Amino acid sequence: MFVGFDYGSANCAIGVMEESGVRLLPLAAGSNYLTSTLYALDRELIAEAVYQQMPTALKADYAKARAGQLTRARNARRELDLEPNEQAVFVGERAVNAYLEMPEEGFYVRSPKSFLGATGLRTEQIALFEDIVTMMMLYIKQQAESLEGLNSKGAITHAVIGRPVNFQGIGGEESNQQAETILRLAAKRAGFTDVDFLFEPLAAGMDFEASLTEDKIVLVVDVGGGTTDCSVVKMGPSHMESKERSQDFLGHSGQRVGGNDLDIALSMKAFMSHLGLGCHMTNGLPVPSKPFWNAVAVNDISAQRDFSSLNSRKTIEELIKEAKRPELLKRLLKVQKEQLGYRIVRSAEQVKISLSDTDTVTTNLDYVCPNLDAEVTQALFKEAIELPSAKIEALMKQALEMAGVMPDVIYVTGGTARSPAIYDRIAAMHPETPIVVGDHFGSVTAGLTRWAQKVFA
């Protein structure tokens, strides 16, 4: 059985082909999307959870590769006084809820896909991300196979998995290969016997192509949670049946800039002044901005490691002694001690979503300080996201310059493109060109599923 698998930075989704077309499968209560998060009471327990749930035939090789982690997992389970079968690793909204309940006690990762192409990862870090991705794929695959109507069709064995044009802005093809290798290995350990990959903007465009009645040159702009990808593609009735589409791909670009970057930028602009950013020391110098950035840079491994360190805590404690507004810096210290950075970014994400429908949002930050509210306007949001917005514009220009043609239509998709601020920037680039807005969340999965049918059926 084959599927289209969107392992996204913000959400994951999986689709199957039925007589009526593509069907996205429910992965969470009332939703076809699973939030891309994982929480473990201890990071060593992730390997244990993978071992317990992976196909029996693969366990021996995995146990050999993860012998050290599995031993440490047994020790961690004893130290945490957990029962042998007590769940210790959670994914999706259950992971978010576990983190919000115990932010300082466990291991939480949001948008693990954002890290897969990171440069300078050590061997043990790559192994950790392999396990995180495997754990999430195992969960999603098991959820899909258990659904009524599918459980009689046997195991899901084949998948087309989406990937961005570039997983990282730096690192080039080496980063892309590292990320794709992690995804391929994780899929194998999760029980997929054969996988193929397809650029996400092309997948999104293929779903749109199914609706075309005449050939068009389409600029696909896919602004996702972790990356933005643009592709210029020949589409239409004379192209859609071909299994070899490389000649139709005229130009593409991609970079790790997306909804996560908007959330981080908004956190800095809207929230960090309430924690002391912009204040001054008694000697007249401004408070250093680095601790504030590290607190919310949830897609930067080194920044998160730095912020959680004892040295960072000592630095903030010293700043409190010398600050003109020490009461504000004490809030930053609480964020450091209780590891609340992810929660702050989550608040920014919720504000961003709310600003799609209103001009002003007031959000409560009482988990940082009682009765602390922050007001965010559309104007402030646009100012905060100026840099990532400019990067998205540059990617559109790059794809069109590579293609050497102008598009007949611009097809916009991806969850982040729901933001009016982002849509307006895209529309202003070529005001004379028609814009079609696709299913912001489901178009990539639908396209992957259609391609899986061509590749595996």
Question: 135 and 273 share a domain?
Answer: no
112 and 148 within one domain = yes
* Stated pTM of the model: 0.85
Note whether residue 201 is domain-resident: no
The answer to whether residue 206 sits within a structural domain is no
Domain that holds residue 431: 211-258+387-438
Distance between CA atoms of residues 341 and 103, nearest Å: 9
Identify the CA nearest to 293 among candidates 280, 309, 277.
277
Residues 312 and 331 in one domain: yes
Which pLDDT score, from 0 to 100, does residue 452 have?
94
pLDDT for 171 equals: 59
* 19 & 49 share domain: yes
Report the 10 Å Cβ neighbour count for 388.
Answer: 23
| 200 assigned to some structural domain | no
Say how many C-beta atoms besides its own lie within 10 A of residue 437's C-beta: 15
* 140 falls within a domain: yes
| Same domain as 265, residue 222 | no
Last residue of some domain: 324, 354, 385?
A: 385
Please give the Cα distance from 275 to 334 (Å, whole number).
Answer: 10
| C-alpha closest to that of 429 among 452, 404, 455, 406 | 406
- 267 and 251 together in one domain: no
CA distance 272 to 351: 15
Into how many domains does the chain fold?
A: 3
What pLDDT is stored for residue 208 in this prediction?
87
- The reported pLDDT for the residue numbered 414 is 87
- Residues 271 and 373 both lie in one domain: yes
Strands 37-40 and 89-91: antiparallel
Residue reference for tokens 């090789």: 61
Residue 225 lies in a domain: yes
453 domain residue, yes or no: no
Domain boundary among 143, 160, 192: 192
381 and 393 assigned to the same domain = no
Pair (291, 342) in one structural domain: yes
Residue 406's pLDDT is: 95
Domain final residue pick, 385, 417, 447: 385
Specify the CATH number for the domain of residue 50.
3.30.420.40
The tens place of each residue's pLDDT in the chain, 457 residues long, gives 999 999 999 899 999 998 888 999 999 888 999 999 999 999 999 999 999 999 999 999 999 999 999 999 999 999 999 998 899 999 999 999 999 888 888 999 999 998 999 888 999 999 999 999 999 999 999 999 998 777 667 789 999 999 988 887 555 889 999 999 999 999 999 999 999 999 888 888 887 888 899 999 999 999 988 889 899 999 999 998 887 788 888 998 988 899 999 999 999 999 999 999 999 999 999 999 999 999 999 888 889 889 999 999 999 999 999 999 999 999 999 999 999 999 999 999 999 999 988 999 999 999 999 999 999 999 999 999 999 999 999 999 999 999 999 999 999 998 888 888 999 999 999 999 999 988 778 899 999 999 999 899 8
How would DSSP label each residue in 401-420?
HHHTS--SEEEEESGGGGSH
DSSP letters for 317-386: HHHHHHBSSHHHHHHHHHHHHHT-HHHHHHHHHHHHHHTTT-SEEEEE-TTTSTT-EEEEEHHHHHHHTH
Comparing CA positions, the residue from 151, 102, 49, 3 lying closest to residue 449 is: 3
Q: 140 and 128: one domain?
A: yes
Q: Are residues 290 and 242 both part of a single domain? A: no
Report if residue 354 sits inside a domain.
yes
- Cα Rg, the chain, nearest whole Å: 23
**3 state DSSP class of 204:** helix
In a domain, 422, yes or no: yes
> What token pair was written down for 74?
């047994």
Considering the domain architecture, whether residues 331 and 428 belong to the same structural domain is answered as no
